[in-house]
Amino acid sequence: MSNIVDPLVLRIAARVRGERERRRWTLARLAEVSGVSQAMISRIERGESSPTAVVLGKLSAAFQLSIASLVTPTEGTSEDSTTGTAGVGRRADASEWRDPGTGYTRRQVSGPHFPAEIAEIRLPARTRVPYPAAAFAFVRQIVWVLDGHLTFHDGDTVHELDEGDTIELGAPTPRVFANTTDAECRYAVILSRGTRP
């Protein structure tokens, strides 16, 4: 058994712990606000457990932050700070997070200083990822299907989206991203950045 810890797991651990401490919340308070158990939060903060997409959604909702802000580094920039020119983002250097429960992957496309958060999602066949309404309370978001088919539950309404289709999300409601097919679905999520609490 390897003792090597994924750097992204450690980054998430530091971000969750940092956001909790910045608010002066105890583990019990974060558990109460997020609906995630104290034991799970403690394992995440120690880097002993990689959170699932559902858990990340609950934590981001509790902090009133986007999921991207919990899984991407805050340091660095996609812009050269000495010249002000745009930098090139290499796929090999992009932050990519994998849900240990479903195999869902999220690759951050935009840098931390770009005015929108853009992520590429790969949703495996026969997979569903639910998010609470609070995860959408502080962002404006568009979902753009790049490949495959996405069954998108927007509260009580279900939208069947194919390659090239988009949906702009409205008022916060519980949502489910579901792939009911036998092939991977790839989509982009574009969020406008809101003001941090």
> Does a structural domain hold residue 44?
yes
One domain, residues 187 and 109: yes
Contact 52, 99 (CB under 8 A): yes
d(Cα 163, Cα 148) in Å, to the nearest integer?
A: 6
What pLDDT sits at residue 148? 98
**For position 86, what pLDDT does the model report?**
60
Q: Which residue has the higher pLDDT, 91 or 130?
A: 130
Tell me the CA distances in angstroms from 93 to 37, 178, 185, one per residue in order: 33, 28, 23
Q: Could you report the per-residue pLDDT of 22-54, keeping only the tens digit for each?
A: 999 999 999 999 999 999 999 999 999 888 888
Q: Is residue 112 part of a domain?
A: yes
Per residue in 57-102, pLDDT tens?
Answer: 899 889 988 787 787 755 443 344 444 556 777 777 667 888 888 9
CATH number at residue 177: 2.60.120.10
Domain membership of residue 111 (yes or no) is yes
**pLDDT of 6 above 90:** no
Number of domains in the chain: 2
> What confidence score (pLDDT) does residue 79 get?
41
The position carrying tokens 């978001």 is: 141
Mean pLDDT of the chain: 85
